[in-house]
Amino acid sequence: TKWVYSFGGGASEGAADMRNLLGGKGANLAEMSNLGLPVPPGFTITTEVCTHYYDNGQTYPADLEAQVEAAIEAVEGVVGKTFGDPKNPLLVSVRSGARASMPGMMDTVLNLGLNDETVEGLAALGGDARFAWDSYRRFVQMYSDVVLGVDHGFFEDVLESFKEERDFALDTELSAEDWQAIVARYKEIVAEETGEEFPQDPKTQLWGAVGAVFSSWMNQRAITYRRLHAIPASWGTAVNVQAMVFGNMGETSATGVAFTRNPSTGAKEFYGEFLINAQGEDVVAGIRTPQSLTRAAREAAGEEKPSMEEAMPAAFAQLVEIKDRLEAHYRDMQDIEFTVEQGRLYMLQTRSGKRTAKAALKIAVDMASEGLITEKEAVSRVEPSSLDQLLHPMLDPDAERDVLASGLPASPGAASGKIVFTADEAEAAKTRGEQVILVRVETSPEDIHGMHAAEGILTTRGGMTSHAAVVARGMGRPCVSGAGGLVVDYAKKTLSAMGRTLHEGEIVTIDGTTGQVMVGEVKTIQPELTGDFAHLMTWADKVRRMKVRANAETPLDARTAREFGAEGIGLCRTEHMFFDEDRIIAVREMILAESEEGRRHALSRLLPMQRDDFIELFTIMKGLPVTIRLLDPPLHEFLPHTDAEIAEVARAAGVPADALRRRANELSETNPMLGHRGCRLGVTYPEIYEMQARAIFEAAVEAARLTGEPVEPEVMIPLVGFRAELDFLKSRVDAVAQDVMKENGAEIRYLVGTMIELPRAAIRASEIAETAEFFSFGTNDLTQTTLGISRDDAARFLTEYERRGLIPHDPFVTIDQDGVGELVRIGVERGRTAREGLKCGICGEHGGDPASIAFCEGVGLDYVSCSPFRVPIARLAAAQATL
Ligand code: ADP
Ligand code: MG
Ligand code: MG
């Protein structure tokens, strides 16, 4: 088997389409050198070696070593240096790289191959002993930290006290001799901490680093990251070994990161940061403040230090040319890493850049307009759930702001919450249902879970490409980074600036769009849904097959749904209309009535109110389909609880309070979710459903008269298990329709259908469909009844199931395709055998979940219905499901 793929020196054994085998980084390094770009040569050890490693008790394939040796020789040939040669040493970096970029993995080790002898050779070659010893100390620290597990704090302490003793402020003040002394001290620490000398043999160093990459695949950080991003453990990671180039060789050397377009706004502008006389890690670590790439960016930010465009015009011009080629080649916005060694530019990485939802939208629409991609591709480029960020609040420009400090606008959107200082506390607060802002000096991959739990992230150090910024943008969390005016004291748990001190638990607001940090909560407003958003939605609607409806019952929800492009109402939960103050008393009176007569009395008071509700709804939805579910929840949800409530109902109904209390007790149930609810209410109290049917039909007549558009209501009977239930209730609804038509001399077109939310209904769908004129899959209840899990009690154990990987995701969020989904499939198939072209939709929470929507497309549903705010997400997801 071929385990090792070489790249660089003009040709490569790999290519971009081999990312499964070579990982993203390796595949793109190969592709870039195939394009003839200046990539330092190297090789990639494949992901199959990682799989082999874990399948075989953490051992390598027998022939791996020989292949690695050969690949090193090839690199030596290209650069004209030899690994371990004291006079002319080849140094390499060892870099992990999975298929999907994974911040949980091992950090890159740079300058590998240095030891007490080769450091002298490097000094002689570069003509600079200081550079050589600086590289060596970086290597010892990095290798000891990531491979040998020696905490980097030890090394930082040594450096700090060394500088203090000599009154040095900056690292740049240290001489070659100083670094040499520090390296000696570092090696002592390694010996003390590990009981062994720092490895001097470059081959030992290399295999140590390779082993560390593979072991890091199973570290806790990586496992957590994979779980959060649904990345299977079986993918494995690749290892890239690459000849070093040096950005720390003086003032004509530099290192940087860049995006071909602005990853925050999507604007078509070259965007990034670089540092002169530095090595890779320095830019993202936030140790020094990086400089802008372009003159325009520098001027806009009012920075003093020159931009790359000004400081290194030749290398900059070449970089611009390369970034244009890369974007045109990959046909997507690229995130690139580069190093300049004594004026010569080298490319070290390219990948599709992470971006905010806003940027994703703008870039997709712009690229389609530029003709770089098609409209369909544009539709596929935007993550549907990320639209959530755009539909969510921004700070009200008119609201008062008590600005405490300003940082970088690292990830847009506004968020308020209580201050917490650790990721664990953020997570704990989230489980208590509190909203928090995670405040850190800087973040690291260990903080990911806390960043997830927080509403927003605030750091006092680090640039636009710092860990916090990149991860927050990926997650869609607002983030302000590098707010240098703020001081965090972890020990005292305080955040202070300008003489003011905030404590843990106090509320702050951050605005990731401007970088402002404010004391207290600031009012927010909804964004506009025009421009790029509208464009993309139009394109999505062109390719989409399924309709998208909304779950709505209030006029406000219905209007929002229309604004977001809903094509009807898929679920109007009539009981929500019963809770308003003016009617809850009548509802309670109806429920508690001992006789049919008492019930009818209360119902007659409810009828006009329900009718008005429906007239309004039909008017707003003007000609679009509206599915109305008749009363569904257990009656006890409406029962009066307090003495005052009981007294009030007793007065309205004209019965003694004691009798009422007794009746309320009678109605209470042990397990209401499986109790007297749904169509069972209709069977025991047909007059309730009759009243609702009458309200619907009378409203249909009236709304048609008002709007001039015919109204075709879809009456939905919930929780049917037996066809006979539906037969019994449908005949009554039909009778009411006949009456209303006769009374008004009007024709009403309507459908009577059912919710499929019990396993029996799905299985007996063919006979139920003989009566039902449409199906709506109520997958919330269908999930509860299929899995035997109560949604309200599930959190206690399902999170544990997810943590242990027993289930891939929460079945109440993404449909359980194999179980619940199978019942949906059966229901659709059997239903349509009995009634050709039976209209089928879904109205559970899953109707707004992109993965579940893809499933719905697969089983041939006619529409999905979701909450109004998720309608755009569903439109985009439904479009993507057809691609
Ligand atoms: P990450 O996956 O965290 O981005 P990388 O493997 O890309 O890690 O390495 C981080 C940085 O290390 C790179 O951006 C680059 O600046 C530096 N680096 C990696 N390999 C080399 C190399 N061969 N020569 C010079 N710098 C390198
Ligand atoms: Mg990188
Ligand atoms: Mg239900």
In the chain, where the domains are located: 4-243, 254-355, 393-525, 544-574+610-636+679-881
Q: Indicate whether residue 135 lines ligand 1 (CB < 6 A).
A: no
Distance 337 CA to ligand 2 centre (A): 6
> What is the pLDDT at residue 476?
65
Higher pLDDT residue, 669 or 872? 872
Rounded to 5 degrees, what are φ and ψ at 416? -125, 150
Higher pLDDT residue, 373 or 594? 373
Integer angstrom CA distances of residue 368 from 133, 374, 377, 872, 875: 50, 5, 8, 20, 19
* pLDDT tops 90 at residue 582: no
> What is the pLDDT at residue 581?
66
* Whether the Cβ atoms of residue 637 and residue 668 lie closer than 8 Å to each other: no
Distance 274 CA to ligand 2 centre (A): 14
Select from 348, 391, 812 the least CA-distant residue to 561. Answer: 391
Binding-site annotation, residues for substrate: 573, 629, 757, 778-781
Q: Indicate whether residue 242 lines ligand 1 (CB < 6 A).
A: yes
673-703 confidence digits (pLDDT tens): 899 999 999 999 999 999 999 999 999 999 9
Binding-site annotation, residues: 573, 629, 757, 778-781
DSSP string computed for 456-469 = EEEESS--TTSHHH
CA pair distance 256, 461, nearest whole angstrom? 17
Over range 120-140, report the average pLDDT. Answer: 91
Integer angstrom CA distances of residue 343 from 128, 131, 277, 641: 16, 16, 11, 79
C-alpha dihedral sign at 146, 148, 152, 156: negative
Q: Residue type for 798, please?
A: L
> What is the pLDDT at residue 585?
82
> What is the pLDDT at residue 498?
86
CA pair distance 489, 468, nearest whole angstrom? 19
Q: Which residues surround ligand 3, an ion (CB under 5 A)?
A: 757, 778, 781
* Whether the Cβ atoms of residue 512 and residue 408 lie closer than 8 Å to each other: no
CA pair distance 485, 405, nearest whole angstrom? 6
Q: Indicate whether residue 249 lines ligand 1 (CB < 6 A).
A: no
> What is the pLDDT at residue 470?
73
Q: How many Cα atoms occupy the beta-carbon half-sphere of 596 within 13 Å?
A: 9
Over range 95-121, report the average pLDDT. Answer: 90
Cα 299 to its chain centre, rounded Å, is 34
* pLDDT tops 80 at residue 7: yes
Residue 742 burial (CB count, 10 A): 9
Q: Indicate whether residue 867 lines ligand 1 (CB < 6 A).
A: no
DSSP string computed for 445-507 = GGGHHHHHHSSEEEESS--TTSHHHHHHHHHT--EEE--TT-EEETTTTEEEETTEEEETT-E
Q: Mean pLDDT across the chain, nearest whole number? A: 92
Over range 112-132, report the average pLDDT. Answer: 92
Q: At 272, which helix (H) or strand (E)?
A: strand 271-276
Share of the chain above pLDDT 90, in %: 73
Which positions ≥6 away from 181 have C-beta within 8 Å? Answer: 162
Nearest CA to ligand 1 atom 18: 280
CA pair distance 279, 246, nearest whole angstrom? 7
Q: Residue type for 237, please?
A: T
731-786 confidence digits (pLDDT tens): 999 999 999 999 999 999 999 999 999 999 999 999 999 999 999 999 999 999 99
* Whether the Cβ atoms of residue 566 and residue 546 lie closer than 8 Å to each other: no
pLDDT bracket for residue 287 (50, 70, 90): low
Share of the chain above pLDDT 70, in %: 98
Classify each residue of 646-684 as buried b or exposed e, where b means 16 or more C-beta atoms within 10 Å of its C-beta: bebbbeebebeeeebbebbeebeeeeeeeeebbbbbbee
Distance 396 CA to ligand 2 centre (A): 37
* pLDDT tops 80 at residue 527: no
Q: How many Cα atoms occupy the beta-carbon half-sphere of 841 within 13 Å?
A: 32
CA pair distance 753, 630, nearest whole angstrom? 11
From 114, 348, 444, 470, the mutation candidate for ligand 1 (largest count of ligand atoms within 8 A of CB) is 348
Nearest CA to ligand 1 atom 7: 349
* pLDDT tops 80 at residue 95: yes
* pLDDT tops 90 at residue 528: no
* Whether the Cβ atoms of residue 316 and residue 272 lie closer than 8 Å to each other: no
Distance 135 CA to ligand 2 centre (A): 19
* pLDDT tops 90 at residue 728: yes
CA pair distance 583, 585, nearest whole angstrom? 5
Distance 349 CA to ligand 1 centre (A): 8
CA pair distance 289, 165, nearest whole angstrom? 25
- SS3 for 165? helix
Architecture of 254-355 per CATH? Answer: 2-Layer Sandwich (3.30)
CA pair distance 65, 855, nearest whole angstrom? 45
* pLDDT tops 90 at residue 647: no
Q: Indicate whether residue 418 lines ligand 1 (CB < 6 A).
A: no
Cα 822-823-828 angle, rounded to 5 deg: 100
| Residues designated as active site | 467, 843
- SS3 for 727? helix
> What is the pLDDT at residue 774?
98
218-272 confidence digits (pLDDT tens): 988 898 888 878 888 999 999 999 999 999 898 999 999 999 999 988 999 999 9
Nearest CA to ligand 1 atom 6: 95
> What is the pLDDT at residue 71?
97
> What is the pLDDT at residue 666?
84
CA pair distance 501, 523, nearest whole angstrom? 22
> What is the pLDDT at residue 757?
97
User: For the chain, what percentages of helix, strand and coil (3-state, to nearest 5) are there?
Assistant: 50, 15, 30
Task: Look up the CATH superfamily of 4-243.
Answer: ATP-grasp fold, A domain (3.30.1490.20)
Over range 300-324, report the average pLDDT. Answer: 95
CATH number of 544-574+610-636+679-881: 3.20.20.60
- SS3 for 652? helix
pLDDT bracket for residue 466 (50, 70, 90): confident
pLDDT bracket for residue 10 (50, 70, 90): confident
Rounded to 5 degrees, what are φ and ψ at 569? -110, 125
* Partners of residue 109 on adjacent β-strands: 94
Q: Indicate whether residue 213 lines ligand 1 (CB < 6 A).
A: no
Query: Does CATH number 3.50.30.10 belong to domain 393-525?
Result: yes
* pLDDT tops 90 at residue 286: no
Tokens of 790: 């109560």
Atom of ligand 1 nearest to the CA of 246: 25
Integer angstrom CA distances of residue 336 from 29, 138, 314, 319, 348: 11, 23, 18, 10, 7
Q: At 616, which helix (H) or strand (E)?
A: helix 596-621
* Whether the Cβ atoms of residue 622 and residue 710 lie closer than 8 Å to each other: no
> What is the pLDDT at residue 593?
84
DSSP string computed for 113-159 = T--TTHHHHHHHHHT-HHHHHHHHHHHHHHHHHHTS---HHHHHHHH
From 111, 337, 444, the mutation candidate for ligand 1 (largest count of ligand atoms within 8 A of CB) is 337
Are β-strands 82-83 and 4-7 bridged in parallel, bridged antiparallel, or unpaired?
A: unpaired
> What is the pLDDT at residue 284?
66
CA pair distance 424, 526, nearest whole angstrom? 31
